[in-house]
Chain A
Amino acid sequence: MTGMITQTDDIVSVRSLDVVFHSRQAPAKAVSDVSFAVKRGEVLCIIGESGSGKSVSMRALMRLLPADRTKIGGHITVDGQDVLALSEGQLSRVRGSSISMIFQEPMTALDPVYTIGEQIAEGIRRHEKVSRAEANQRALELLELVRIPSPERRLKNYPHELSGGLRQRAMIAVALACRPALLLADEPTTALDATVQIQVLILLKKLQLDMGMGIIFVTHDLGVAAQIADDVAVMYAGRIVEYGSARDILLHPRHPYTMGMLASTVHGQDRHRDIEAIPGSPPDLRSLPPGCSFAPRCKYALEACTKAVPPEFARPGGGYARCIRMTEIVHQMGAPQPVHA
Chain B
Amino acid sequence: MSTDTAAIGSVPLLAKAPRGPRHSFVRTVVARLRYDYLTLFFMGVILLAILSAVFAPWLAPHDPYATSMILRLKPVGFEGHLLGTDELGRDVLSRILYGGRMSLMMGIVPVLMAVLVGGLLGVVAGFAGGWVNMIIMRIMDVFYAFPSVLLAVAISGTLGGGVVSGLLALTLVFIPSMCRITETATTQIRGLDFVEAARASGASSGSIILDHIVGNILPPVFVYASSLVSVSVLLGAGLSFLGLGVAPPTPDWGQMLSSLRQAIYVQPIVCALPGLAIFIVSLSFNLVSDGLRQAMDIKA
Contacts and interface: CB of A to CB of B under 8 A. Distances in A.
Interface of A: 62, 64, 68, 88, 92-97, 100-101, 103-105, 108-114, 122-123, 126-127, 147-150, 153-154, 156-158, 160-161, 165-166, 171, 174-175, 177, 184, 199, 202-203, 205-206, 209, 226-228, 247, 250-251, 339, 341
Contact of A247 (B1, B22, B216): B1
B12 interface: yes
A160 B28 CA distance: 12
Contact of A105 (B5, B25, B193, B215): B193
B3 A228 contact: yes
A95 B7 contact: no
B215 to A, nearest CB: 4
B196 A103 contact: yes
Nearest to B25: A113
Contact of B215 (A93, A114, A126, A202): A114
A149 B1 CA distance: 29
Question: Which one of B3, B13, B215 has the highest number of Cβ atoms from chain A below 10 Å of its Cβ?
Answer: B3
B99 to A, nearest CB: 40
Given A103-B196, A108-B192, A149 B22 contact: no
Nearest to B212: A111
A202 B211 contact: no
Given A112-B216, A147-B13, A202 B204 contact: no
Contacts, number: 111
B7 to A, nearest CB: 6
15 contacts: A92-B202, A95-B201, A101-B197, A101-B200, A109-B194, A109-B197, A111-B211, A111-B216, A113-B25, A126-B203, A156-B22, A175-B201, A202-B8, A202-B11, A247-B1
Given A149-B13, A165-B14, 6 more contacts: A64-B199, A100-B201, A126-B202, A153-B19, A177-B201, A206-B8
Contacts of B23: 158, 160-161
Interface in B102-128: none
Top 10 A-B residue pairs of the complex, sorted by shortest distance between their CB atoms: A96-B201, A96-B202, A109-B193, A341-B1, A95-B202, A113-B215, A101-B200, A108-B193, A206-B8, A111-B194
A153 B182 CA distance: 34
A169 to B, nearest CB: 9
Contacts of A153: 17, 19
Contacts of B13: 147, 149
Nearest to B199: A64
Contacts of A122: 201, 211
Contacts of A227: 3
Contacts of B60: none
B3 A205 contact: yes
Contacts of A341: 1
B158 interface: no
B4 to A, nearest CB: 8
